[in-house]
Amino acid sequence: MLNSVAPEVKSPEGLHADALLAWYDRHRRRLPWRALPGEKPDPYRVWLSEIMLQQTTVKTVGPYFQAFLTRWPTVDAMAESDEEDILKAWAGLGYYSRARNLHACARFVSARLDGRFPDTVEGLRQLPGIGAYTAAAVAAIAFDRRAAVVDGNVERVVTRLEALETPLPQAKPRIAEIVDGMTPADRPGDFAQGMMDLGATICTPKRPACGLCPYLPFCRARREGTQETFPRKAPKARRPLRRGAAFWIVRPDGWVLVRKRPDKGLLGGMTEIPSSVWSEDFDSGTAVNYAPLKAKWRKLPGEVSHGFTHFELAVSVYAADALLSTKAPADCRWVRLDELDGEALPTVMRKIVALARGS
């Protein structure tokens, strides 16, 4: 009787890209920024999509990408726009420093590079707002340069292939090494997009469709039945709770007071409903001291909750009525209520508006 010997599990670095590329050719996602088979990628579209997709889902980005492309079809067109217009169009996507960097990068490429993006990782890293990941993604996808592209989907695929016990984020350097070893010299852009698609559609966080995966024979986690436990993640630190107040004041003609936030810092350059500082030791008893105008302020029922990367926020909303003749303070301005949706209001401010208008 022959002894049954389990087949050796190959290391991901030794995997050939053929299986993945064959799978990608059959199952690639149709995305508005992605070139069709045989089509040359547009570096502007690739760059714009990669900036938008940072910390944001494909589903959320789709309509924003189409709107940006319609309004600013080229990098030169974006460079000629005002930052305020970019911020208004970006409102709701979050991580607003990306919008300011987007505009700064467009201006740099248009003014200094004749509207052409560099075609190497090193050249792309010199542009405003472009870090290691974005430079690798644009170089690979737009210019077919061999570069290791690692997003959250790719991290999941690789940690399962390797059954990598090191938790994130400590595992990131090792993951990058593995992806670099797997990335082929031929069709590196398609390989990068194939890995992303594999993680997004097959190697999903829960209930991955392992039977459909081109890497099934090589996956250590699948072999051990532990695929859903990867990637390992270090325990998240508890996010502190900060509190604050916002002040909703409306004139009889339906104009509401707004203010532009400082250009630097959280939500920099965005429009806000005038607000207090946000702090863990915020004293609600003195909230009206932060009001932009003297008025008969009344606290509205309920509060607005919002999560930021490093803290949770709870905002109480105060409302008041202003006279038609009330002048806006130096750092504020009046906006028609029916035009408020067109302002560069971040999501937390839209929540404040919703609470105020619903009361």
Give me the residue spans of the domains in the chain.
10-229, 241-358
Per-residue model confidence as pLDDT tens digits over 96-154: 889 999 999 999 999 999 999 999 999 999 999 999 999 999 999 999 999 999 999 99
> Which residues of the chain fall short of a pLDDT of 50?
1-11, 14
What pLDDT shows up at residue 100? 92
CA dihedral 44, 50, 51, 56 (to 10 degrees): 140
What pLDDT shows up at residue 6? 44
| CATH number for the domain whose boundaries are 241-358 | 3.90.79.10
pTM for the predicted model, two decimal places = 0.82
Residue 83 is a catalytic residue: no
What pLDDT shows up at residue 33? 96
- Which of 8, 13, 50, 272 is catalytic? The answer is 50
| Cβ within 8 Å of residue 1, ≥6 positions away | none
C-alpha pair distances (Å), 351 with each of 92, 189, 314: 11, 40, 11
What pLDDT shows up at residue 4? 42
C-alpha pair distances (Å), 214 with each of 80, 152, 202, 219, 262: 45, 19, 10, 10, 50
Per-residue model confidence as pLDDT tens digits over 46-82: 999 999 999 889 999 999 999 999 999 999 999 999 9
| CATH number for the domain whose boundaries are 10-229 | 1.10.340.30
**Pairing status of strand 298-299 against strand 241-250:** unpaired
Tell me the pLDDT of the chain averaged across its residues: 93
